[in-house]
Structures are given as structure tokens and as C-alpha cells.
Amino acid sequence: MAAAAAASAPAAPVQSAGWETIGHSAHDRPIRALLVGSPRARVKVLVVGQVHGNEPAGRAVIARLRSAHPPRGTALWLVDDANPDGSAAGTRNNANGVDLNRNFPYRWQPQDGVYESGPAPASEPETQVMQRFIERERPRVTLWYHQALRIVVKSTGDPVVERLYSARSGLPRRGLPRYHGTAVSWQNHGFPGDSAFVVELPGGPLPNAGVRRHANAVLALARAIAPPRVVSKPIPFGDDRRADMAEYAQRHYSIRDFRLRDPRVIVEHYTATSSFQPVFDYFSRNEPDPELHELPGICSHFVIDRDGTLYRLVPTSIMCRHTVGLNWTAVGIEHVGQSDGDVMGNPRQLAASLRLTRALQGRYGIRTRDVIGHNENRSSPFHRERVERLRTQTHADFPKPVMDRYRRLLRRLPAPASVR
Ligand SMILES: [Zn+2]
């Protein structure tokens, strides 16, 4: 069947190496998907070049993305044509006359004419093929190319992702009526952590500059949701230190455990040093701290160096002593620097910090208001402390005005679910 499809669909890519047949159309033409990037990548971005047979412009973007290098930790799934019968015939709808983008089984309703929705939800083989594929791959973000309204269509997915694509592609983001049975609404409803949206390209074939711009917009989007690169540099945390931590948790929180379960808070700190190594050495020694004279020695799960390198010193499954009142439920992030101003004024370090924080928020479902500075510990609803003289204890780092700015920057990044 591949030969027949190629003969009647001249826009099909010349090479078929690496394409996986994920199913067949009503007239038995293959529907194909190509993985670009590592099969082990945790974050997948799905791009569908065409679903209406008379709207083929997106396939040129797919052709360009075949040779792309997706950012580390991400991979692209490319489906060049979800409606090969419609493409072969040059018709919007499939061989049964059904508009596939009205046939998905969410808010489906019977419709006739251009928007013929089929005899039942997901009645069409092409719809079923895409459903199965999306259920199998769980793409974090999906783009469906259509023509010819020249907009990025607002959906109920992550608006930051759509705005980013809009800014990069130059197409404004606008709403359309809530159509019934669309692929995007089925995805956004069924996979609430993931985002799917439609890009309406201009009419006619895309010029080369447009192809490049849209392919780059897809890659920018992948970069924005890529997992941060974390260097593992563990400090010793053996049985003695674990026992010290469990005793601390008992004294201060009435928790007889060294494990950090279901963290609800992220606390930002700075080291008051100008390099990483002394911090690592200090956290490695399990000695009583000079301020409260307690064991275990203080530490932090992550340290971010001046150049933006992210080090993980302690797994987030173990408590670290970094913030009085919150160690039982908080992940600690230290920034190498002499002040919070040092950190906020260093673009690489700040970008790395926001990215790591967003990824941790996504992994644990932590709200942005629970990303706090050390100085904000006492006003956290999670603050608890059995030792009375410590109930008002805090440090000066990252007070509320600085953290208000930090949280504003966080909210400009893709939602935690997009970067989990
Ligand atoms: Zn369309």
C-alpha cells in the first residue's frame, strides 16, 4: 500500500526510512509516524502535518523537522499525514466524507455538511489510529497544522506554550468557536497535564522562510519544556547521617523518619560564598552547625553554580536540614553567590534556577506560592516547629520582595505539568 499512497500523494517525503506505520486509513493507506531524537527521551512533542486533505502546508514543516536535533531529554514524533485518503483526493474529509477533526470522542455531536462528524464518536479508522498513538506515546505537547486562518488557536491547554509558539512563529493567538469532536479538545480533556493546540498556517504552500520559522518554533517549544540537565554530585549520606536526620525530625516535627515524602514546598537560598567547592565540602561534613549546634550537618538537595550548572547533592527522597520549620516537607535549592541580588542579576544562574524549580514543581505538584525564599519560612502554611525558641527563627536570604519577582518569572514559564 505504501507505493499506492506515494503515487497518489506527491507531497509525501521521498525517503521512508525510519517511519513507523501506526495504522491505516479507510482505503487502507498507511498512516506513518517518525521519531526524531532518542527513544528514551521522557518528553515527547507530537507534530501532525495535516489532517484535512486540502490543507497540506504543514507537511513542509514536518519534512524540515525530520533532520532536526531536538533538545536533550526531548524527542519529536512527526505524523506527516493523518488523512492520506483525503490528501490523495484533495478533499477536507476522509474517504467516508467525514471531517476527522469533528469525529473525536469528546463533545461529539452529529453534524452534516463540511463538518460531517460521522455516524458515531471515533467511527473513523484514522481517528482511532491517532487516538491509539496518542494514548501510547502521551506527548507532553501536540501541534496540529491546519490552514488557512493565520493564527495559533487558543485552547484549554497551557497558554504559555501557545504564546511561545505564537511569538516564535509570528502568528497571533486567537480563539475560535468551541467546535465539537476536535482532536485537540479530546486530548486536553483526556490528558489534562498535556497540551494540544492547532496552528492555522496561511493559505497556499509555505515559503522557505516560513517553513524555517515554524520548525524553529517547534524546537523552541521543545526547549522550553525540556527537563533540566542535573549533574549528580552526592554528598555522603550514610546510615549515621540518616539516623541523625531521623532524630532531628523527631525532635522538631514528631516524625520518626529521615525520608522526605511528598514534598509541598521549595525553598530558595544563597550560599554566601563565591564558588561551589566550599559549599560541597561544608555540606559533606556531617558536623553540628555553628548556629544551632545540632546534627545532622546542614545541606541542600541542589546547588546552582554561577554558570548555571545544576548539582544534585542529596536525592529528593531524603530530608535535608536547610530551613527551620520546613525540612520535613521542603526541597532546598542553594545558589552560589554573596546575595540574592547576585543570583537575580545573573541570567544563566537565574534561568537554571527557574527551570529546575519549575521541573520540581511539575514532578511533585508544588504550587508557585509554595516556592519561597528562606526568609519567608515563618509565613508558610507548612511551617511547623516543636522547639519553641526556634518558631520565629529565619534567615535573611530571598525575602518576599525578591521572591515576588522570582515567582512572577516562574509564572512566565510553561506550566509545571508541561515540564514535569
Ligand atoms: Zn483544517
311 forms beta bridges with: 231, 303
What was the pLDDT predicted at 2? 36
Phi, psi of 152 (to 5 degrees): -95, 125
Question: For residue 180, how far is its CA from the centre of ligand 1 (angstroms)?
Answer: 14
Per-residue pLDDT 10s for the chain (420 aa) are 333 333 344 444 444 679 999 999 999 999 999 999 999 999 999 999 999 999 999 999 999 999 999 999 999 999 999 999 999 999 999 999 999 999 999 999 999 988 999 999 999 999 999 999 999 999 999 999 999 999 999 999 999 999 999 999 999 999 999 999 999 999 999 999 999 999 999 999 999 999 999 999 999 999 999 999 999 999 999 999 999 999 999 999 999 999 999 999 999 999 999 999 999 999 999 999 988 899 999 999 999 999 999 999 999 999 999 999 999 999 999 999 999 999 999 999 999 999 999 999 999 999 999 999 999 999 999 999 998 889 888 998 999 999 999 999 999 999 999 998
Say what the pTM is. 0.90
DSSP for 297-336, please give it. PP--SEEE-TT--EEE-S-TTB----STTTTTTEEEEEE-
CA of 92 to the centre of ligand 1 (A): 7
**Residue 55 C-alpha to ligand 1 middle, in angstroms?**
6
413: phi then psi, degrees, rounded to nearest 5: -85, 160
**How much is the pLDDT for 357?**
98
Tell how far the Cα of 199 is from the centroid of ligand 1, in angstroms.
9
pLDDT of residue 71: 96
pLDDT for the residue numbered 290: 87
28 CA from centroid of ligand 1 (Å):
22
CA of 146 to the centre of ligand 1 (A): 4
Helix 347-364 × helix 400-411 angle, to 10°? 70
Distance from the CA of 52 to the center of ligand 1, in angstroms? 5
What pLDDT score was predicted for residue 1? 34
Phi-psi region of 118 (alpha: psi -120 to 50; beta: other; left: phi over 0): left
Q: Could you tell me the distance, in angstroms and rounded to a whole number, from the CA of residue 75 to the centre of ligand 1?
A: 25
What integer pLDDT is reported at residue 100 of this predicted model? 98
pLDDT score of 16: 60
